[in-house]
Structure 1
């Protein structure tokens, strides 16, 4: 909870850059799924992971939930980079297209999240999961609700 507490006093971009630089701890989900923050800039975030057997479903490929989780993380954090201190967001809708099977042979994959449109209350974001050659393994779209901090 240390990172979440500090997030309330930093802009979204400052928070993600501090996490990427190792100045504050990454969220527990990133440890659990072995995801890494590669970069964070205004409106664009990149996460990475190397598929491992613990990511597998019963039929021998990376579970769709793992793929959805990294894409959702990249999309949500791309929105977070635009938010002021004290503001947050939540996912309202998530759609994922699984385009190619992912296994340990796929190598490192990057989830590249970016803003399509950000309004005052909602945002439309997207992400692609790609390998080093640019081959797309999955694509996602999401609608997020922007949560403004209410002053007392």
Structure 2
């Protein structure tokens, strides 16, 4: 399998079918998150904060939510890109709504809300199973290459 020849959507769909946390590679080895669905302009993740993600006061560090939301917004953009074209997050704005719970499965859905030839804007929310929002983010991504 040649990853460079796969579209962004194909890569994200492959990630949804890997065992564990996106194959337990890279950032997913530190932040337990998993792609569960991918379609054009939209991805879904599950994530679970644990003791490794606490700050000195014992609460979940805000970087946990920011990292999951960065992944969700970026991966949503990636689903729109052809093979061999990448992206980079230029701007990530995260609003923390309430403290992230420890050892509870959370869900993040990222979706593209605008796309041009050179950039895309996406958003994502981190929620629990009841739909309670813990954090919201918007991101601007630069498309790298000729998309």
Equivalent pair of 1:37/1:46 in contact (CA under 8 Å): yes
Which 5+ residue runs of structure 2 have no aligned equivalent?
A: none
Match of residue 62 from structure 1: 60
CA distance in 2 between counterparts of 1:96 and 1:112 reads 14
1:16 aligns with 2:23: no
Match of residue 97 from structure 1: 95
Equivalent pair of 1:60/1:103 in contact (CA under 8 Å): no
1:48 aligns with 2:43: no
1:138 aligns with 2:127: no
* Displacement over 2 Å in runs of 4+: 23-27
Equivalent pair of 2:74/2:141 in contact (CA under 8 Å): yes
Distance 1:74 1:104, change over 3 A: same
CA distance in 2 between counterparts of 1:80 and 1:91 reads 11
| TM-score, normalised via structure 1 length | 0.88
| TM-score, normalised via structure 2 length | 0.91
1:128 aligns with 2:125: yes
- Residues 61-83 of structure 1 show CA distances to partners (whole Å, capped at 9, x for unaligned) of 11111110000000000000000
Of 56-65 and 85-94, more deviation after overlay is shown by 56-65
Cα RMSD after superposing both structures: 2.0
* Count of residue pairs brought into register by the alignment: 145
| SS of 1:104 mapped into structure 2 | coil
